[in-house]
Amino acid sequence: MAQISLTFPDGNARSYDAGITPAQVAAGISTSLAKKAISATVNDQHWDLQWPIDSDATIAIHTMKDEVQANELIRHDLAHVMARAVQEIWPDTKVTIGPVIENGWYYDFDRAEPFTPEDLGAIEKKMQEIINKRDEVRTEVWERDRAIQHYTDNNEPYKVELIESIPGDEPLRMYWHGDWQDLCRGPHLQHTGQLPGDAFKLMSIAGAYWRGDSSRAMLQRIYGVAFTGKEKLKAHLHMLEEAAKRDHRKLGREMDLFHMQEEAPGQIFWHPNGWTVYTQLQDYMRRQQRKGGYVEVNTPQVVDRKLWEASGHWDKYQENMFIVEVDEEHAREKAVNALKPMNCPCHVQIFNQGLKSYRDLPLRMAEFGSCNRYEPSGALHGIMRVRGFTQDDGHIFCAEDQIESETAEFIDFLSKIYKDLGFEKFSVKFSDRPDTRAGSDEVWDKAEAALLSATRAAGIEPELNPGEGAFYGPKLEFVLTDAIGRDWQCGTHQVDFVLPERLDATYIGADGAKHRPVMLHRATLGSFERFIGILIEEHAGKLPFWLAPRQVVVASITSDADDYVQEVVAELKKAGVRAEADIRNEKINYKVREHSVGKVPVILAVGHREVEERTVSVRRLGEKQTKVESLENVTKALAVEATPPDLL
């Protein structure tokens, strides 16, 4: 029999008979490893323990300690076990597909009766029974005709359609979990008993069109989550519970910040409270940009397609643009324009006005640019994912030898802002060239090398994010982690040699000749809308005092205190505090409850004693105890709290 060589992670290689399986390899190493093994990686591919290896390869055997591989297998096997459970309870149900997704899986079913939330409990119970049976998981490779006949005989039309869509040279793997069978690429565990029965949960039911096509059958999708242990499941469920409490859409209603409606999909109606947060944040960013040496500009919303064609956006980004056609007077054809999805081509137009010298560089240009991008309706999510938004956008026009210093300066600039806004730490991802891009490989080589070198010179070793660069250049992505462990990609910094070339941007160098500037695209917060959503969820609505839209409510305990309430409000406003009076004929506990739901940071209660002593009873959001203080001291303290961090 032919021999093959398998190389292990430690660099050692051993000879085996061709056709050996990873399970046999594990057994040859030790009995203990054979029992613990769940899968292998063979030549960088995740490999089922039952699959034969026919040629020289690298190999690593995995156990449940290998989180990435273990989670993939657990979630994939549970998708099959759930489908088996559904068909055992409701035999007429037809199965379709059940892929692994982040933190879990889903499976789509065709069933006449709708699943109910109560059904999830019955399915979970049946799944536990299947896991406890420790049924063997086995796999076979079938010929296409045999597989089609099998599913035709078993009245599984969706599986027949799937097989017909699989390329002819791809093997058809059939997996059995006990007596239940499914078409699947694998890999899978070796028996159902390897699944952690206490570390999964069925979460929800949703509708889904077959193959995402609205003209096809509407199926029922069941979602589940799973982890390698019950503590991890518990932590995940706690995170989801916290996320629900912090949902910016819910808090936006309670705090009366904004609303959205069908007549303007993906667009935000900012209420006075929400617009206060927006403008406070914008004013803060404007001050920071001035300190950072930026000049602020403003550019048109509607721009002729010719500019987008010249910049490359018309070819690379048109599907995300809103097109506007206008019957121009005396024109033979309609003028085709687009709402700007980004600001960069317009900033180049400003740079191109007048002659620029090397002495003008770096030129840092900033705009609170209002942009519009088409997002599918299913992708819209509150104010986090919208069609109309404003970026704290900026473009730095510089020479090649200034890339490193400008990148380091921007990272310092961004770090201070994130710290002021409550985010002490962030991670950085380096996104290199995408498949669809403008510019030659030589230009991309230069841009990627320059950005990576500049980032490392700033003391940061970024995580590689392959293929996720912009179509015109590589980028850094700055990722914040919030209070409950979720990651949010916010700031970006991109090196672009392409757009200045396409739009003919030049400056006069020290040698008297024309040179192309490098264009550094940068955003700190990203979109204001999304960042405000992140802030709301990070702080669970309890925004930092200087950002809170309603900072203080002065509430009367008795109507005799109404005049003093107005006096207190006037003093606070004079000191720069956003204060309002509540002199309604309601009990103080009712007022406190209502304003606490609205996330007002400070409530000052005023009654007979406070009027006589010129004091206020101070209650802070989240605290049960009140503290009586003089009006003078409270006013001074709150005036400091109301001052933005950069002005302290």
* Catalytic site positions: 344, 373, 391, 393, 395, 475, 521
Please, which contacts does 152-156 make with residues 24 or more away whose CB atoms are closer than 8 Å?
155/94, 156/94, 156/95
Centroid of chain to Cα 508:
42
Paired residues of 109 in beta bridges: 95, 220
Paired residues of 181 in beta bridges: 176
Give the span between the Cα atoms of 620 and 313, in whole angstroms.
Answer: 50
Paired residues of 427 in beta bridges: 479
Centroid of chain to Cα 306:
33
Task: Read off the amino acid at residue 531.
Answer: F
Q: Who contacts 433 (Cβ-Cβ below 8 Å, separation ≥6)?
A: 444, 448, 467, 469, 474
| DSSP H helix total and E strand total for the chain | 20, 33
Sign (positive/negative) of CA torsion 113, 119, 125, 130?
Answer: positive
Residue 95 phi/psi, 5-degree rounding, is: -100, 155
Between the CA of residue 82 and those of 38, 99, 121, 129, 639, what are the distances in Å? 20, 12, 12, 11, 58
Q: State whether residue 464 is helix, strand or coil.
A: strand
Q: Output the six-digit token pair for 280.
A: 């406070």
Task: Read off the amino acid at residue 596.
Answer: S
Q: State whether residue 442 is helix, strand or coil.
A: helix
Q: Output the six-digit token pair for 219.
A: 């199926």
DSSP assignment of 132-164 equals: HHT-BEEEEEE-HHHHHHHHHHTT-HHHHHHHH
